[in-house]
Structure 1
Amino acid sequence: MKLSRQFTVFGSAIFCVVVFSLYLMLDHIDHSKNPNGERIQKGQLGILQDKIDHLERLLAENNEIIGNIRDSVINLRETVKDGKMFPEGNMSQGDLELLPPAPALLPIHSEDCQFAARTYSKAADGVQMLDVYDLLSFDNPDGGVWKQGFDISYQDNEWDNEPLQVFVVPHSHNDPGWLKTFDDYYRDQTQHILNNMVVKLHEDSRRKMIWSEISYFSKWWDNIDEQKRDAVRRLIESGQLEVATGGWVMPDEANTHYFALIDQLVEGHQWLERNLGVKPKTGWAVDPFGHTPTQAYLLRQAGLSNMLIQRVHYSVKKHFASQKTLEFFWRQNWGEQLILIDRASHTLDSFLSISSFMA
């Protein structure tokens, strides 16, 4: 008898818990009114159904708009086929209604687009790059120490009476994004490069280093102590450490919009000004696959006076080397003309890089 009573009490408790839970669930259900003013209960399924109905209405509206556009194009095509498009001074109001509305465009100053219709003449003291492209076959023949390089040969005793000069340029080439993440590159490699740079440059005052990627440099700067920061400032003042380009990254130049080129350059230069009081004078672009004259123009406007580029087709490098024009003034198409003026008295032995002066 006592056991039966316990089961009864326990069952009643469970029933109360279930009823109370159902009440709480119903209390959270969204309540709204139907068009007749009556209150209805609408759960998650009802909300989802409303969203689906809204999407269906939007699709129907879009289909109607597309249908109107299609009809307008068909009517316009028939008008052109019938020869009604449009004799000068003979455009009717009905024809005008068939035309699509003109897009809203911002006004463009005529001086900003002069280069679009301008013809360029070959300068007597320079070369037009479009003419150079017409001369080259870009056939990539094998040869030399590089696949498309010159076939270099020399005698064993050729340098007996003249020392061979070798120029070593320690420089940064740290991609913020490639095979690893930015943080992985910094942790595994970049921080060690910068730490060793400070030590090795102080060991020998003849040693120098070029750094260009400020995104990495700023992260390293935030993680070093004031003593090491003072050491870096001394290296910059002595000329052992040079900041080249000074952009947040070494940007791609083939597909990047010029807004992005400007933004990353401003970001890097502002950081340098705030933390080191440095303003770069030389550009350093050894890894972008292809180079745009827009980047040279932007660097010139940022106060840089010269730049070095690297990822140029070997056919172009060999042509410049043979013509002794590996150093040049670079003018853009929207200037007078694109001129590469010979600044070299001899062909560079390595012809690996091309330096230019922005005019």
Structure 2
Amino acid sequence: GWLKTFDDYFRDQTQHILNNMVIKLQEDNRRKFMWSEISYFSKWWDGIDGQKKDAVKRLIKDGQFEIVTGGWVMPDEASPHYFALIDQLIEGHQWLEKNLGVKPKSGWAIDPFGHSPTMAYLLKRTGFSNMLIQRVHYSVKKHFATQKTLEFFWRQNWDLGSSTDILCHMMPFYSYDVPHTCGPDPKICCQFDFKRLPGGRVSCPWRVPPEAIHAGNVQHRAWMILDQYRKKSKLFRTKVLLAPLGDDFRYAESSEWDQQYQNYQKLFDYMNSQPEWHVKAQFGTLSDYFEALRKESGLGEKSSNSFFPVLSGDFFTYADRDHHYWSGYFTSRPFYKRLDRVLESYLRAAEILYSLALVQSSKSEKISVFPSVDNYKLLSEARRNLGLFQHHDAITGTSKDWVVVDYGTRLFHSIMNLKKVIIDSAHILILKDKGAYNYDLSTPFLKMDDVQSSQDSLPRKMVIKLTSQPRYLLIYNPTEQERFSVVSVNVNLPRVKLLSPLGKPVTVQISAVWDGATTVSHEAYQVSFVAHLPPLGLGVYQLLEVQSSEAVLANYDIYMRNSRQEKPDKLFKIKEMQNSVDNIILENSYMKLWFSGMSGLLEKINTKEDGKNHQMKVEFSWYGTTSNRDKSGAYLFLPDGDAKVNFLFTE
């Protein structure tokens, strides 16, 4: 979703596009159509009858309908973690394998705001041979066009051979819409977008409308568009040309299918009937294009790649005109960018625990009540919500507010559901007597130590209430390496004892939980300790109240400007630093750090192993925005000049 939510787009446009596709492609076997995102396609598929499904399979088999890329979405290529990029590809491809028995061959990425070699690598490893990209800096496009290098083998920087090469087509012009795909003149190309015929809801901004093709104008109109095709072909190395015919949410109305296909077929028929024009024009899929391109350029399965140049590197940062660099979205809506990573980590942890629990549940009839089917559905839903959020208008932070709330709600619900999967799975795994397992949805066996109340709220640490009877603290290591990690939980009192999974006392530190900058809360205390867990391990620690605790209490040095601490704390030693302090020093057995007493920023590091001092400089700076009409925003970063360094002290 961008201007509408995913479900609203499906209701208003997407389902109608796909319904019309089945009808209109069957009317003429020369017609072709491509589809990319499986999120929409699967939702549509679930609501159609068997007859329509059979028709889709026939259209795919006959080469009229092609799935390109086949990921859950067309993802952004800058903000996501590679885990999520792979996961949404897997989700889409597994759906295709299960429901259609097909595997995509070519990548189609026309709208991400810049392109990453990581995506090229993932597509290559997926088994793709070809890919297409569009949003590249306009100056780069111009340079590539003059050099005829818009088609190239994209190779990874670290590849000394050619094993990562994937054939890539870069679209040469401003956009992927019809006015910018037939050739260099959008005023002419727009006249061949037949949805813009007079009387329709959309028109050409160049104020020259399309004309319906008929016997009286077909020669002139065919020559007009062929001239654009020839000019565009001069930018490439072969005689094979691609001119995509679509745009955002096009073909939702039956009338557009007729307008586009019928008028273009008349143009193609006329061109092909003129042997002196030396042209063969037809509808085609992306695979049709790359197949013809490889044949024309002599690229067989075993031939060399020397016909096309080899390129390594990335296509960031994108600009479509002037100095309009699309780097604003790298930091837009950071709360949801973080929520994406939180869901990602919960998903991986839940998948591993669920798999291990499934093995255990299959070994014993007594634990057949383990909700494996229900929890697998929750895992699938979480994968799909994570995948959906990788879309180039979601994780980027460029959607409208209500669409962002819809995305956030999906992420939040999946986090809640994954916590349930983790709890249910861990329950089985920690029981010595598996026969004692009892699943009760109303009373979960475990609780997570953080609580988040809504999609736009920050998580809060739960306060564990201690008594002389042990509370069990279950810690999970979701990585494949042995871990020594500091774990912190909040408890209701400072007199604490912690026992390891082997029942041995563990050294803990008690730290303050702060109400504001200078006030210590006595409703909660932070307990920190070093947990040691094997790969993919679960460890059960015991926390209990004791009369006399051997825990280490944290000490605090506080520096306050123009205010004083109200009164000494009854538990923690809090020392107020003087205004004239020069440096703040932190030290352990490995290093010594000096911080400015005025700014609190790091200034020097001493590494004790070699005795060397390293001078540091940390600055906080800010950019203004331009005074021009175009401003920095969700997409663009348009500063008014160099960054300005500022120190801001709050009273």
Which band: TM-score by shorter chain? 0.3 to 0.5
Richer in strand (by share): 2
Larger gyration radius, structure 1 or structure 2: 1
Q: Normalising to structure 1: TM-score of the pair?
A: 0.47
Which one has more relative contact order, counting CA pairs under 8 Å at least 6 apart? 1
